[in-house]
Structures are given as C-alpha cells and as structure tokens.
Amino acid sequence: MTTNLHHLEKELWEAADQLRANSKLTAAEYSMPVLGLIFLRHADNRFKVYLPEIEADIPPQVPAAQREELIRLGFQGKAAIYLPAQARFETLAALPQGAKVGQAIDDAMQRIEDEVEILKGALPRGYTAFEPDLLAELIKIFNRESLRRATGDVFGRIYEYFLNKFAQSGAQEGGEFFTPPSLVRMIVNVIEPDHGIVLDPACGSAGMFVQTGHFIEGVRHQNPNDKVTFFGQEKSDTNTKLARMNLAVHGLDGKIIQGNTFYEDHHNLVGQCDFVMANPPFNVDSVDTKKVEPQVGGRLTFGLPGTNAKTGTNAKTGAISNANSLWIQYFYSYLNAAGRAGFVMASSASDAANKDRDIRQKLVESGDVDVMVAIGTKFFYTRSLPCTLWFFDKGKPKALNDHVLMIDARNVYHVVSARSHVFTEEQLANLNAIVWLYRGQHEKFVALVASYLRQVADWLGAIPARIQADTDTVGTLAGLLQGFADKTNIYELNGQAPQPAVVDGAPNPEPAEEDVRQVRPEQLDAFRADLAAAATETHAITDRLDATLAELTAAQRRLASADFSTHVAQRELQATIEPLLGTLKTAQKDVEARHKLWLKLLDTAEKPLRARQSAAFDGRRARELKRALTAADTKKDEDPTVRDLALEGFRQAAYFIQQVHWLHHRFPEGRFADVPGLCKKVARADIAANDWSLTPGRYVGVAPAAEEDEDDFQERLAEIHAEIEELNGKAVELAERIRLNFEGLLA
C-alpha cells in the first residue's frame, strides 16, 4: 500500500470527526462506534483474504444456501472471522440513499457477535444515533480502494491513531495508549513467545497478542491457537472490548477480563506463565498501599516500594509513591521456572533510588534479568518520551547468570515525521542479532547476514531492466524535443502563419524583433544548441551507466553462485561488494542528472518557447514522459514511476550492503563483543558498583564520533527537514489564524 499513512490517518479522522461535530454525542459516546467501523473494515479485509481459497474448494453446483454454510465452516481455524453477508462492508456501502444505515450497522454487529463467541458483548451499538447521511458518507470513505487493499499493520496504526485522538479529546478512560508497533515487535523478537501460556496483565487492545500470532505464523510457520493460550487483563472497559475485537479479527483465541491489576488478579497465574508481555501505565502514584500489602511474598516477590510522603509515611497508610516497581515484580512473579518476560517501562525505573533500588538489586541477584534496551524519544504516538525495554529470562544459561546485556538503541531509529520515529525491519533484526550473539546463537546471525546478501543479489539483478526502461524513457523524451526543434519555426511558436523559406528566389529573412510577440529567433537557436549539448552529455552518462551495469552484473553473478553459509565466506564476499557502494551512489547521481537535464529542456520548450503552439510538439506524450521521470506523489497514492524504480534499485542494493557492513563492522568475528555506544555484556559486580542501575547508557559508553555512518547522517538530516517542514506548516496556519482574527476585529 503506497498511501502516505499519516495523510490517510488525518483524512479518516477528519471524516469521522464530522459525526461528532454534527451530532449531539460526546467524544466518549462516538469513539467506540467509529472504532467499530475500523474493526469491521479490518475484519472484512481479512475475510476477503481467505474467501477465494475457501470458495475454490466448493463445487459450483452447490446451492446458494448450502454454499454459504460451507463458507462459514471453511473459516474455522483461519486467522480471520466469518462475516455473514449482511455484515460485509460492501453490503453496507451499497445501501440505497435513505436507508436506515445506523440500524443496518447495529444489525451487522449483532450478527458478528452471534458468530464469534469471544465478541459477545464487545462490539459497539448505537449507530442509529448518528445522522444517516453522515454515517453513509463515512461508510463510503472507509470503503475506498486504498483501504480495501490495506494490510493488518496499517489498520493497527489507524486503530492506534484514533485511540490517541480519542484520548486527547477525553474519550478514552485514563488516557491509555497503544504500545508502538516497533516496541511490540522488539519484545516479541527477544522473548520469542511460541508456546504455552502468554499473559499481558495490562493488555490494552491486545497488540502484544496479535504480534505474537504473527511471530508464530511467520517465523515458526505454525497455527498460534495450537501453540499458545492468551490471557489478558485490562482496567479500561473500552480497551477490554477492543482487545477482544482485535483477537477475533486476527482469528486468535484468548481470555480477556476487565480488572485493575494492582488490586485484582483474575487469571491467578502466578508462577505459571511461559511468557509475560506488557506496556503498563508509567509512574502511577495513587496505588493504595493497604490494598497491595497482602501481595508481598506472592505477586510482590521482593517487597513493597516506597510510599508517598504526602499521604503517608509507612507501609500501612498512604499510597505507593511510584507503581513502576509493582509492575516489574508482577511480571517477574507470573513467570514459571523457565519463563521469559518483556515489557516497556519508564526510563526512570532503571535508576530509581531507595526501595526501588533495593528491589532492582534483588532482581539482579536472582540472575534472571536478561536484557535491557534503552529506547529514544518519539516512539510513542502522542508523547515524546524515552523508555526502556526490560527482559527477564528464568531459564537463561548458567554462563549468563551473572551478566546482563545492555543495549543503548537511542540512536537507532527511522524518521517518519518530526514527531514520530520507528524501527525499520532491518533495524529490528540488527538489534535482535545482538541478543542472538549474546546468547551464543551464532547461526542466527549468519542466517540474517545471508538474507541481506541475497537481497543485494536480488536488487543487483533487478537494476539492468529498470535502468534500460529509464534510458528508453529519456531517449523518447530526447527524440520528442529534437523533433520539435527540427520541425517548428519562429512564426508558429508566436501564433503566426508559417512563412515560406524562400521568397522570389531569395531566402526569407527572419522577422524583425519588433514583429515577434514573445519568442525570439535566438531563443530557438539556443534551445537547439542546448539539445546538442544535452545529447553529448547524455551519451557520456549512458556510457558510464553501461560500464556500471557491467560491474553490477558481474557482482550479481558472484553473489548468485557464492556459498555464504559461513561467517568467513560472508566476510570474504562482503569485501568484494562493499566497494560497490561508491559505484551505486555515483550511478544514482548520473541517473538523476540525466533526468534533470532533459526535464529542464522540456520546461524550456513548454514555457519560454511555447512549444504547445507547435504542431510538431506532442503535448500529451510530453506530459506522460515528464510524469515517468518525476517522483510519484505518495500522498496521492500514486504508483512508482520509471524514475522511482530505477533509483530504488540502486538505493536498495546499497542499503542491504550497508546492513551487512553494520553487523560485520561491529561484530567482525561473528561473535558477541562489547561495542562502545551500542552494547555491553555487564557483570553483576559492575551493576552493584553502579548502585544497581539498569540504565544501558551508564555502561555502554559513547560511540566514537567518526563511527557515524552516512545513512545515520541522512536520517538525522531527514529529521531536521521534517521538523522544519512541520514548523513551516504551523507558521502558515498561525499566520492565517492571525489574519482571520484581525479581519474579525475590523469587521
């Protein structure tokens, strides 16, 4: 899906917000119905993924009623839910004008609940309270082609965006936030939840469970419902329902119960969980000490944290000053003897003093603290704050019992916008590779590098055809412009009747300058000279590109026939392809220079020379060629152009060579090593000497300034540009607001 997601989210929110603006409902009253429509759109998308496969197994002569029942049965065990015909999105979108749209949606939700046990009582109702025409329009917006083609990950982001918008408007209880997908994936990658009981005692909308399902399906190639049992608890009634909706739409089984985990433990799973995952609310300071004191020795293995001095001075009065240490102990206590936990926590919890420090000491002395990862700002959707990922492993090898892996990932991120950072697929994999090496899983590291080398080979193989298409397009444009220059004349360009070249046996002189309205003869002569110079320069560029393609093809053949199943072989191979980075960047600049050259000449022909006045100029074809040599507008959901595809080949080949370099440069032996500024295997004695701090930055040090890669620099530059663009946008909005206010004062 090429749609710019930020643009899509904003567009959908503005459309949905019209329901609130044009109804008497409060934000809290209309939030769930809107989220219900997103759920229905997502459920319909997943339904459509499996429907063709199921229908293909049904003989065509089967009667319609029986056919529908067979479709229903076919969805059993699938990672999607069966949707009755009346609950499918196209049915709602096709309702005639004047129909009772709200009642139809209410009926659709009821039919789905009748089909799916986990959803009983979870789906929203009350659509009849909305103005029918507005509701019908919203249905149409959610039925656009771009959304019909959207994947689950896109809808996860849309869910997250809407929930945060509702939180800002007071619609969400307690201001709960979705866990950023990058952090969920990092947690899943590290703890590898692939069997047994999986618990999230602060489950939100069940994002951890959904990603676990993806992991089991995509990495383990197994059915999640056959391997794990999901248990979730969530304080918010809204999020409890959303969690059940999210599980159902992904075809996952689970038991989600509403409850305040500080005071209630509905699942009673202390000491029984294979995996615990969570993103709990940070820095809660109002937990009643009396209510949690009985948990000491049970869920609170290491005792109570400190209390708030404003409300009490001992463990029997007042409130817990900060509940972070409560959460940390809960996650630890739920694990069985070999269980793993991964969770998001406020950065301050890694260094908190007094009783929180004592609890951390006991945790470290248990030997079960496995990995700590520092995450930078801007990963959360609406809050710019850093955090830390904690990982416990009660079954880790004895050799690692006295150590903790510290990773400082604050400088690892990809800029989405001035306010939003994520991990790319490769950044996630590279950070995970550090954990593999720390655990002695050398073979996984080698397999990851091999996958990057295969990507390099694939992209190198794709480049020649893409460059040939680009060369052909440039050649066509050059021919069009040359034909125009050869066949047009100065009279035609000025809208005058063509003049004969010879009059009374003598050459017809060019018109005097005062007789020429816009285009002068010397302009056309200069354009012809520029065409000749461009042709010469293009020939030189094409020759260089041909030489480059020969070099890249040779490298691709080496990769295609190479054995890179060992680290040594990979290092040797990388040494031969790393010099291609300069070649790829130079070729990219050549292609862009060729585009710029001919697009500038096209602009000259169309504007100063008024080429569209000439019968020798094909304006329609010129527009097509210009479009092909210009970057696609992702905000308009445009497909990649010839230019985009050509440049993508160079960029992607270089990108994956750089990924191999990133790993080999930091771990040249293919074994774990401390890397300044990135990671360190820290002994328990060092942690004790640092007041039992679990903050990675204290231990890994600072990377040498010279170590910053060019792609890192480009990321920082992109971030600066994004911030400037955002500030410029705000400046324009502010100026317009001031103008309107000023006009109001004068009125």
420 half-sphere exposure, CB direction, 13 A CA radius: 13
With beta carbons less than 8 A apart as the criterion, state whether 597 and 534 touch.
yes
Per-residue pLDDT tens over the stretch 95-154? 998 889 999 999 999 999 999 888 999 999 989 988 888 888 888 888 888 788 776 557
Query: Nearest-CA neighbor of 418 among 388, 384, 386?
Result: 384
- The verdict on residue 291 lying in a domain is no
Task: Give the mean pLDDT of 439-449.
Answer: 97
> What is the model's pLDDT at position 20?
73
The residues near 701 (Cβ < 8 Å, ≥ 6 apart) are: 676, 677, 680
Indicate if the pLDDT at residue 720 is higher than 60: no
Last residue of a domain, one of 168, 189, 204: 168
Q: For residues 428 and 365, state if they share a domain.
A: yes
How far is the C-alpha of 604 from the C-alpha of 526, rounded, in Å? 11
Q: For residues 232 and 108, state if they share a domain.
A: no
φ, ψ for residue 620, nearest 5 deg: -65, -45
Q: For residues 159 and 182, state if they share a domain.
A: no
Q: For residues 484 and 380, state if they share a domain.
A: no
What is the residue-averaged pLDDT of the chain? 87
Range of the domain at 36: 5-168
With beta carbons less than 8 A apart as the criterion, state whether 121 and 90 touch.
no
Q: Helix 207-218 vs helix 181-191: angle between axes, to the nearest 10 degrees? A: 50
How far is the C-alpha of 2 from the C-alpha of 417, rounded, in Å? 16
Task: Give the mean pLDDT of 582-586.
Answer: 96
Total of domains in the chain: 4
Confidence at 500, pLDDT banded by 50, 70, 90? low
How far is the C-alpha of 89 from the C-alpha of 105, rounded, in Å? 10
Indicate if the pLDDT at residue 28 is higher than 70: no
Q: For residues 89 and 11, state if they share a domain.
A: yes
Q: Helix 27-56 vs helix 64-74: angle between axes, to the nearest 10 degrees? A: 110
Helices (H), 607-681: 619-628, 642-666
Per-residue pLDDT tens over the stretch 604-647? 999 999 999 889 999 999 999 999 999 988 666 678 999 999 99
How far is the C-alpha of 198 from the C-alpha of 87, rounded, in Å? 31
- The verdict on residue 553 lying in a domain is yes
Q: For residues 130 and 192, state if they share a domain.
A: no
The CATH number assigned to the domain holding 63 equals: 1.20.1260.30
What predicted TM-score, i.e. pTM, was given to this entire model? 0.84
Query: Nearest-CA neighbor of 390 among 337, 441, 335?
Result: 335
Place of tokens 């074994």: 671
Q: For residues 272 and 364, state if they share a domain.
A: yes
- The verdict on residue 652 lying in a domain is yes
How far is the C-alpha of 62 from the C-alpha of 42, rounded, in Å? 29
Q: For residues 29 and 10, state if they share a domain.
A: yes
Query: Nearest-CA neighbor of 388 among 405, 407, 404?
Result: 407
Helices (H), 488-565: 490-493, 521-561
Q: For residues 479 and 330, state if they share a domain.
A: no
- The verdict on residue 445 lying in a domain is no
> What is the model's pLDDT at position 318?
80
With beta carbons less than 8 A apart as the criterion, state whether 704 and 729 touch.
no
- The verdict on residue 625 lying in a domain is yes
Q: Which residue would you say has higher pLDDT here, 312 or 735?
A: 735
Q: For residues 358 and 218, state if they share a domain.
A: yes
Indicate if the pLDDT at residue 515 is higher than 50: no
> What is the model's pLDDT at position 502?
65
Q: Which long-range contacts (CB under 8 A, 24 or more apart) does 66-74 make?
A: 72/115, 74/50
Q: Which residue would you say has higher pLDDT here, 234 or 151?
A: 234
Q: For residues 600 and 532, state if they share a domain.
A: yes
The DSSP output letter for 515 is G
Last residue of a domain, one of 440, 475, 490: 440
Confidence at 315, pLDDT banded by 50, 70, 90? very low
With beta carbons less than 8 A apart as the criterion, state whether 642 and 14 touch.
no
Confidence at 729, pLDDT banded by 50, 70, 90? low
How far is the C-alpha of 673 from the C-alpha of 681, rounded, in Å? 8
- The verdict on residue 682 lying in a domain is no
Length of the chain measured in residues: 747
Q: Is 21 left (phi over 0), alpha (psi -120 to 50) or beta?
A: alpha
Q: For residues 16 and 34, state if they share a domain.
A: yes
C-alpha 669 chain-centroid distance: 32
Element (H, E) at 256: strand 254-258
- Residue 654, number of CB atoms within 10 A of its CB: 22
How far is the C-alpha of 428 from the C-alpha of 506, rounded, in Å? 77
- The verdict on residue 494 lying in a domain is yes
- The verdict on residue 503 lying in a domain is no
With beta carbons less than 8 A apart as the criterion, state whether 358 and 401 touch.
no
Task: Give the mean pLDDT of 564-576.
Answer: 95
Per DSSP bridges, beta strands 506-507 and 679-683 are unpaired
Q: Helix 580-606 vs helix 521-561: angle between axes, to the nearest 10 degrees? A: 150
* % residues pLDDT > 90 (the chain): 63
> What is the model's pLDDT at position 174?
42
The CATH number assigned to the domain holding 191 equals: 3.40.50.150
Last residue of a domain, one of 419, 440, 461: 440
Ranking 280-289, 316-325, 352-361 by mean pLDDT, the lowest is: 316-325
Indicate if the pLDDT at residue 401 is higher than 70: yes
